[in-house]
Amino acid sequence: MATIKCIGILTSGGDAPGMNAAIRAVTRSAISHGFSVKGIMRGYKGLITNEIIEFRSQSVSNIIQLGGTILKTARCQEFTTPEGRRLAYDNMRAAGIDALVVIGGDGSLTGASIFAQEFDVPIIGLPGTIDRDLGGTDHTIGYDTALNTIMESVDKLRDTASSHERLFFVEVMGHTAGYLALNSALASGAEAAIIPEMETEVDQLAELINHGFRKSKNSAIVIVAENPETGGATGLAERVKKEFPQYDARVTILGHLQRGGSPTSRDRILASRMGNAAVEAILDGQRNVMIGIENGKLTYVPFSKAIKHRKAIDRDVLELVKILSI
Binding to ligand F6P (CB under 6 A): which residues in 241-280?
Answer: 259
Q: Verify binding: residue 144, ligand F6P, rule CB under 6 A.
A: no
| 287, 122 Cβ separation under 8 angstroms | yes
CB atoms within 10 A of CB 42: 19
**For residue 311, what is the DSSP state?**
P
Q: Which helix (H) or strand (E) holds 180?
A: helix 179-188
Q: Is 159 a catalytic residue?
A: no
Q: Verify binding: residue 175, ligand F6P, rule CB under 6 A.
A: yes
Single out the residue of 25, 37, 40, 130 in contact with ligand F6P (rule: CB under 6 A). 130
Instruction: Candidates 127-135, 206-214, 263-271, 294-302: pick the segment binding ligand F6P (CB under 6 A).
Output: 127-135
Q: How far apart are CA 222 and CA 212, in angstroms?
A: 10
Measured from the CB of residue 242, what is the shortest distance to ligand F6P in angstroms?
27
Q: Active-site residue among 131, 133, 144, 267?
A: 131
Q: Verify binding: residue 14, ligand F6P, rule CB under 6 A.
A: yes
N-terminal to C-terminal alpha carbon distance within the chain: 60
Measured from the CB of residue 308, what is the shortest distance to ligand F6P in angstroms?
14
Write each residue from 293 to 322 as x if it is in contact with ligand F6P (CB under 6 A), else as -, in one continuous string: ------------------------------
Q: Verify binding: residue 131, ligand F6P, rule CB under 6 A.
A: yes
Closest by CA position to 225, among listed 195, 198, 260: 195
**For residue 191, what is the DSSP state?**
S
CB atoms within 10 A of CB 303: 24
Single out the residue of 69, 73, 113, 129 in contact with ligand F6P (rule: CB under 6 A). 129
Measured in whole angstroms, the distance separating CA 325 from the mean position of its chain's CA atoms is 27
Instruction: Candidates 123-131, 154-162, 214-222, 298-306: pick the segment binding ligand F6P (CB under 6 A).
Output: 123-131
| 51, 40 Cβ separation under 8 angstroms | yes
Measured from the CB of residue 141, what is the shortest distance to ligand F6P in angstroms?
12
Instruction: Candidates 23-31, 56-64, 153-161, 170-178: pick the segment binding ligand F6P (CB under 6 A).
Output: 170-178
84 vs 105, beta carbon nearer ligand F6P: 105
Q: Which residues pair with 171 in a beta bridge?
A: 224, 253
Q: Which amino acid is at 310?
A: R
Say which residues have a Cβ less than 8 Å from residue 155's Cβ, sequence separation at least 6.
188
Instruction: List the catalytic residues.
Output: 131
Q: Which residues bind ligand F6P (CB under 6 A)?
A: 14, 105, 129-131, 173-175, 226, 259
